Each structure stands twice: as structure tokens, then as C-alpha cells.
Chain A
Amino acid sequence: METEKNKKDDEAEGLGLPRIEAKRYLQGSGVEYVSYGGEHHLPLIMNLVDQELSEPYSIFTYRYFVYLWPQLSFLAFHEGKCVGTVVCKMGEHQNTLRGYIAMLVVLKPYRGRGIATELVTRAIRVMMESGCEEVTLEAEVTNKGALALYGRLGFIRAKRLFRYYLNGVDAFRLKLLFPVQRHTNISR
């Protein structure tokens, strides 16, 4: 949990210097990113998620995602060790093609290096190229790290979901809308 003071600092804007944090991950960090490559990757993803997320998923949950949308799952390796993963899907939702980020995990010691940003960016790029109009996900309102990450990528907090998680915590539904010529016509 961050303190109130930290939160303010997060949202404060310096008047003197341009912002640099989004570029940090480009520095050579020796992290290698690969697209989901088959059954041998499945235990790696499962281990990571089991370690870091509270939700108990069965193997069938992972299968659903990685079998149907292998192109939307990525793994990050550091010196041969899998240190991060993103699992996504996409499909029709109210007549639009929509991407959905289901799981995003980076091991604690490897956080702050832009690995999560790179993983999500790769997945979102594939979604965009596949014709998705938007991307959504849910995040706990207390997960400041995730909220900041998605905020930098252009996601807005579209809704607040009251006590969305079983632990009683609210969630935000985050949404990223891709630019389409059509949209500008509507608003004009």
C-alpha cells in the first residue's frame, strides 16, 4: 500500500523537466520476449500466475486462453528463467471486436524494469493489427502499480465495479480505444 503522500507525488507534475519514465524499459536489460510457443510454455505460465495471483485457476483456464489465442500470450525470459507473462483473448462484444487482458504477471524482483509494459504492449499491438477496436481489463482499485502502467499506455478508467473481487475490493474496468477514422466523423 502506498501512503497518501506518495500518491500525491505520483500525480504531481514537474514544471521543469520533460517526463522520461516511459522510455526507461528500452535500456538493454537482457530480457528476451517470446510469443507462446506450445505446450512446453504452459507450466511456466501456470507457475508464474500461481505464485503471484490469488485466484486459483485450473489448467483448463490457461488452456482456454493459450490454445485459442496463442498469438496474444507472451513470456519474458531473463537468463533462461521465465520472469513474466501476459495472457489475453479477443472476441466480439456488442458488435465490436474487443481485446481482453486476462493475466499479467512479473516476478517481484524483476519489476520496475518495464517488462510488464513491454509484454502488454506486444499483446496490444497484435490486437490492434487483428482489427480490435478496443482493449479492456479489470484491475483492483488498490493496485496502484497496474493502474499507473495502464494509464501510461492510454487506458481510461471507464467504470468502477463495486466489490468486484471476493475479497470485497472494488475494481476499475480499464479501456483503451484505438483511433479509427469513423470516430472523428461521429463527433463532428
Chain B
Amino acid sequence: MAEEKIGDTDVQIPVNPTIPSGDQSVWADVSPLLQLACKDLHDGELIHGENFNLFAAMSALEIMDPKMDSGIVSTYYSVDEAIEKGAAPVPLSFDRTIDIQCTIDIMDHLLACEATWHKGHSLAQTVFSCVYLLRPDRTSSHALLHSYCMVVRATCNALVSAVSDVRTNEEEDLFTLTYGLPLKGDGDEKCLSVLHAIDETISRQLRACKAPSTKRRVLEDIEPLQTNPDLEEGFCKAVLCRLRFRKHFYHVLMCMRRPQGKGFELARKHITSCLSELDSMLKLEEFLRSNNTCGTVRDATEEATTASGCRPIGFDSSLNSRLSAPTPPRAIKLLYWKEAVEYFKKLLNDLQVICSYTLDPVLEVVLRFVVGFQKLHPDLVARAYLQLLLVQDGKLYGRDPVFAVIGKASLLPDVIKNHDLQKNEAVVQLGQLVTNLLRILCTNAAWQRRKLGKILQEWRIIHVQLEMAFKKEFGDTLSTSNDENVAVKICNQILIWVEEQTYWIATRFLTLGFELELYSPSDYCMVYWYIYVILIKLAEKTHVKMMRSNDNGRRKGKKKRDSKDAKDYQIPPAVVLFQCQIYLAEGLVMMLAALRNEYNVFQSLGPFNTEHERFLQHFELLQKACLPDHISYFSFKETTNHARLSTLSMYNCFKDAQRIAKELRITYSNDPEKLNELRRIEQVAEHNVVALNLVCRLGTLDPSLKIYFEFSHHPYFASAVVKRS
């Protein structure tokens, strides 16, 4: 007998003889103890213990509270109970017309579930809220539903494995949590051939109902899809486009997983087919809506998860609530069917962009492609497939060794591909940084910016490590730039490229802040100043890299023409484009600074800290990595303290930006992407010239004048708008 004391009462606890006792313990029934304890404890009180503090108490679950106790929110206790109670009948109806209508509703609702899953909700609460999916064997007598369920499961499985393979970040890993759901049904791998067989049958049924009456006799042995001859054609078509969409979509995913983008050409064809099937689905919406099972013809604008507007049979979102977590998942709002169709169109278009990419071996082109792709705001699935393409087996596209990529990026000749240097430990590490960078650039913008901020330090460190490693290997010859030694040249080029790349990352880090709305207008001045400083460095490093590479090339062949080349020397267009952006950034810095100095606007005057602290917070990671060296809040203040509108009108950076952008247009006449950037720069510059003039002329005269900045022309260079309030 065990004895416990609660309050003033002694309690006798009977030892439970049915459970064998251990060496130093016995099992006892504590119910009476708990009952007494309950009487002694009031609502909201808790017991203090060494391992149970106030923090731990926060994780307490309140039993029987529907917000917290997942056991009491389910409609059914189990899937079996749901089936027993008739939640998912097979067939859906003995009336074959109704059966087809209901089957189409299930297909549509599953599409809505799938899109909602892609958009960040759990598989358990979306696709697998379908009872038919959870019990693969039950549908085997219903060939159509069975085949559709098979391909949906196989598709989910393929997507989970693709997204898992890119080892996605913690913010999006909900996608891959499968909680032991039956993702792989027996025979799912044969889903394509099963789909194909069903497609053939229904195609024959469609042909039969469309055939003129004279021919119909020959086809009479074909049993129709359902019993109403007037609706046969519509239903056959509605089913066919849904099946074919699934078939092509599964093909797309398979083709895109082939190594080195070898399946892209075929994938593009399937994407086109997918898109046309989605269009057919939309065209048949009206037919399904006016012949639906729920009887009411709904308003065309009404939102539903099915084309017909009816609620589907066989779904219960609370079925898996006990699978996922101790607390019940929140109720989620599924995308409507039309939104789901739009989602898939967007996804397919994004995948089309990936499949149309040329697999360029030049890193700069790769980076530009990824950044451009991210501007489309692709969702997780599309980003995952991009990453799968870019980094395979530690090589770019699974094809180009990273050292070769680095060599190309550093403008070294192809012959260095097999240089011994690639075995150097620091160079190997640099390769890892490059693949890591590519991975990061494929993640969502919020996560990407945080990661980019963190890796800046690593890129700074690798530069130092490479420098040391190279010195160790080649001694002081490294510093003499006109040495003919090939290895030394390689080292110097790689070092300058590492710096250039680091400043590129810093630029991306800073500009992403605009997309993520991390800066308030009172921060703009310092942000543009920092962008200005970083861009100068980026331009400088790019320029040096190109000059050195030219030198190397020239020395090989045409030594005699050296003097002539020096005269003809022109700054490379890439550097001039940077110059253009530098002017734009400088223009914005000075304009904002002058407005701050003269009109006291765009200031941050909190009671607890100053602009200095805001500066330290915004640029903490850049400052830690000394990007660039010797830059501080005081350099920013020095540049901006004396800005006045009167001086700005005389020396106007926006005009310089405009002029250079115009000149560059000819150079880049064959590069639509660069032309686009130039056009945007010109627009921003033009607007800001006008705004600046207005403020200079009217500012003091018209107190009702208001100024604000918007990003209508460029994603991160702001255009000033002046208006009367």
C-alpha cells in the first residue's frame, strides 16, 4: 500500500496487482488520489515541480476544449467509421448519370485540395481529406474513380519526393510531412497505363455518341458512359479533359526529373497539353453547372470547389486531425475550383520557363535567370524544380563541375578546367559556397534574404582563406600581376571574382528588402546610400576582373598593338550599366537627404533611439562582414549632411543616369532583358527629374505640397511623386 498526503487527508492508494512490478517500483491506481487532488486544486491553479515551471505550463492542453483537444473535433472516430456510416459509397450512385456527376465533383474538389496543399497547407488536411484516397482498395470496382485516385496519389508522391530532395527550408517543410498517409497504393506506378486504358474507353464512348445514326449500329456494342444520351457528349468530354490533364501533368513531373534537363523538350509538350486541357475544363464549366446533381443552378460568379457548384461526396477534413499534432489543426479555407485551375496554370507557366532555359554554363547568366524567375513569384513546387535542375550531384545542371563554373565566371580560359588547383581545400570550399548560393536563390524571398545575409560572412572568410592558400602555394609571386605563371593568374582572377560575387550577394540582399517591404520611407535615404556604396564596389571589381582578363588575352597574341589598344580602350558595357544604377542611387540619396535637411521630412525621430541605431540594425550583417571596409554611419552622415536642393538642381545625377541609359541602348539592342532594365532606369530618372524640379520651384511657396515614393517603374529604385494634398 502506498500512502500520500493531500491537504489534510491521508489517502490509501491500492497497488494494482494485475500489472507486474519492477525492481524498485509498483503500479498503483492513482484515481482516488487524482480525485482528491482535483477537489483541492481550483481552476487555473497548477502544481509546481522541479521539472514543471511556468514556461512548461504554457504547453498544457485543456482536455475537452474544442480549440485544444483534437480528440473531440472529429466527425468520425476513424476512416472505417466514416465508411461504415456511408460517407464514401462505391459506386457513388446506382444511377449512372449521378455517379458520373459525383465522380467529376470529386476530381474537381481534389484539384482544389491539391492547389491548397501546394500553397502551404498540410497534405493530411487537403488531398487526404478524401476517404477514397485513404482506402485505395475500395475503389477497385469503380475503374474511373480508381484510376483518378491512383494518379493523384502518384503525383503527390512525386512532388513530395522532389521537394524533399531539395532539402527545403523549415518555413516550407510542411509540404513534405506525410504523417504515414497511404501515399503509395499498390499498383500506383502503373497509373499511366491504367489512365490510358480508361481514356481509350471513354474516347470510344464519345465517338459513339457523336457518330451519325447510320454508323451508330456498328458501334452499338459500346456501352455509354451514363444513361442520358443528351448529356453523354458533355460528360465524356468533361471526364476526358480531367483525365488527360492528370496524365500530362504526371508526365511533366517525370520528364523534369530526368538528369541535366534532358526531359525538358518533352516536358514542354506535356505542359502545353496540360494548359489546353485546363482550358477545356473551364469551357465545360457551364455544362456541368447547368446539369448538376444538387439541382440548383448556381450563379456563375458563385464560388465553389467544383465546376458544377455541388459539394463533393467522400471528403472530411477532420479525418486526419489526430495524425498531425496533439492540438487540432485550424480549419483551413480551400481554394475555389477556379482559383485552383488558375494556380495550376501559373505553376505550369513557371515550369515552362524552367524547361525553356538554355542551361547556360556562365554563372552570371544563371544568376540572372534565377533572379528573373523569382520575379514571377513562383510557388514552392516550381522553385523546387528549378533547384533540382541547377544543382545535381554537386554540379551545375548535373553537368558542369563547379570548378569549371568558377573558372568561367572568373573569365579564365577553358583550358584550366583540369588544373590541380581544384583539389585545393579552400577551392573545394568555394565550390560548396557556389552551390549553396544557387540553392538559396531558389528559396522564397523572405528566407532567401535572411540566408544571403548570413553567407556574406562566409564569402568574406573564403576570400581570406583562398588568399592564404594561394600564398602558401606560390609565395609572393602572387602579388606581381604581370607574372607569366598560369597558376598565379588563375589565383588572382579567382580572388577578384570572389570579391565581385560577394558584392553581388550584398546587392541582392539590400534590394530584396524593398520587395519584402522591410524599409520604411524614413530608411530610404540610408538604404540607397548603402546600395550606392556597394554598387561602386561591385562595378570596380567587375571592371578589374574584365581588364585583367583582357590583358591576359592580349598578351598572348598581339603584343605589338598594345599602344593602340590603350587608346581605344572603352569601359565594358556591364560596368557602364552599373554606373547608371550608381547615378540613380546617388540621385535618390541626395534628393532624400536634401528633403530631410530642408523640410524635416522622411525623418525617424523615435523616443528611444536615433537614426544611428536604425542604421546599425539594417546593415548589421554587412558591417560585420566589412562590406565594404571603412564604412560607417558617419560616412553616411558626411555624404548627406550638407545636401541642399539648390545644389541638386545644378548637379543632377538623375540626368546622368538618363543619358547613360540612352547611350547603352545601342550596345544592348539584342538583349531584351537589359533593354528592359535600361527603360525602367530611364523612367525612374525622368520622373525624379520632374519631381525634383517641382519641389525646387514650389516647395517653400506651397505648403500643401506632399511628396511620396512609389515603385511603379522599378522594383527597387523609387520614383518620387509630388502632389497637392
Contacts and interface: CB of A to CB of B under 8 A. Distances in A.
Interface of A: 8-9, 11-18, 22, 56, 58-61, 63-64, 67-68, 121, 124, 128, 141, 151-163, 166-168, 170, 172, 175-179, 183-184, 186-188
Interface in B708-725: 708-710, 721, 723, 725
16 contacts: A8-B708, A12-B708, A15-B595, A56-B67, A58-B58, A60-B44, A61-B58, A63-B46, A64-B58, A124-B608, A156-B618, A168-B121, A176-B609, A177-B613, A179-B613, A187-B632
A43 B62 CA distance: 18
B75 interface: no
A154 B608 CA distance: 7
A160 B514 CA distance: 11
Given A16-B703, A153-B608, A162-B171, 7 more contacts: A8-B710, A15-B599, A157-B520, A159-B446, A160-B449, A162-B444, A187-B616
Contact of A154 (B119, B171, B607): B607
Interface of B: 43-44, 46, 54-55, 57-58, 60, 62, 65, 67-68, 119-121, 171-172, 330, 444-447, 449-450, 516-521, 523, 595, 599-602, 604-610, 612-618, 623, 632-634, 695, 699, 702-710, 721, 723, 725
A14 to B, nearest CB: 5
A183 B612 contact: yes
A176 B607 CA distance: 11
A-B CB proximity, top 7 nearest: A16-B703, A154-B606, A13-B601, A12-B708, A60-B57, A187-B632, A160-B446
Contacts of B516: 160
Contacts of B444: 162
A159 B450 contact: yes
B608 A128 contact: yes
B518 A160 contact: yes
A178 B609 contact: yes
B613 A178 contact: yes
Contacts, number: 156
B706 A13 contact: yes
A154 B615 CA distance: 11
Contacts of A157: 517-520
B617 A16 contact: no
A99 to B, nearest CB: 11
A63 B54 contact: yes
B519 A162 contact: no
Contacts of B704: 14, 16
Contact of B612 (A18, A156, A184): A184
A50 to B, nearest CB: 11
A60 B600 contact: no
A186 B610 CA distance: 16
A165 to B, nearest CB: 10
A121 B609 CA distance: 13
B27 to A, nearest CB: 29
- What's the dominant secondary structure at chain A's contact region? mixed
Interface centre among A12, A64, A156, A187 (most CB of B within 10 A): A156
Contacts of A184: 612
A179 to B, nearest CB: 5
A12 B601 CA distance: 9
B119 to A, nearest CB: 8
Contacts of A168: 119-121
Contacts of A141: 517
Contacts of B608: 124, 128, 153-154, 176, 178
A120 B287 CA distance: 58
Nearest to A170: B446
B58 A60 contact: yes
A63 B520 contact: no
Contact of B57 (A16, A63, A124, A187): A63
A188 B634 CA distance: 8
A15 B601 contact: yes
A166 B171 CA distance: 12
Contacts of A63: 44, 46, 54, 57
Contacts of A58: 58, 60, 62, 68
A162 B172 contact: yes
Nearest to B613: A177
B521 A13 contact: yes
Nearest to A184: B612
Contacts of B54: 60, 63-64, 67-68
B55 A162 contact: no
Given A64-B57, A154-B607, A11 B708 contact: yes
B442 to A, nearest CB: 14
Given A15-B599, A15-B695, A183 B616 contact: yes
A15 B466 CA distance: 52
Contact of A59 (B44, B609, B707): B44
Contacts of B60: 58, 60
B146 to A, nearest CB: 33
Nearest to A180: B613
A151 B65 CA distance: 38
Nearest to A177: B613
Contacts of B171: 161-163
A183 B119 CA distance: 42
B58 A16 contact: no
A11 B709 contact: yes
A137 B447 CA distance: 18
Nearest to A134: B617
A5 to B, nearest CB: 11
Interface centre among A151, A160, A167 (most CB of B within 10 A): A160
A162 B446 contact: yes
A15 B633 contact: no
Nearest to A154: B606
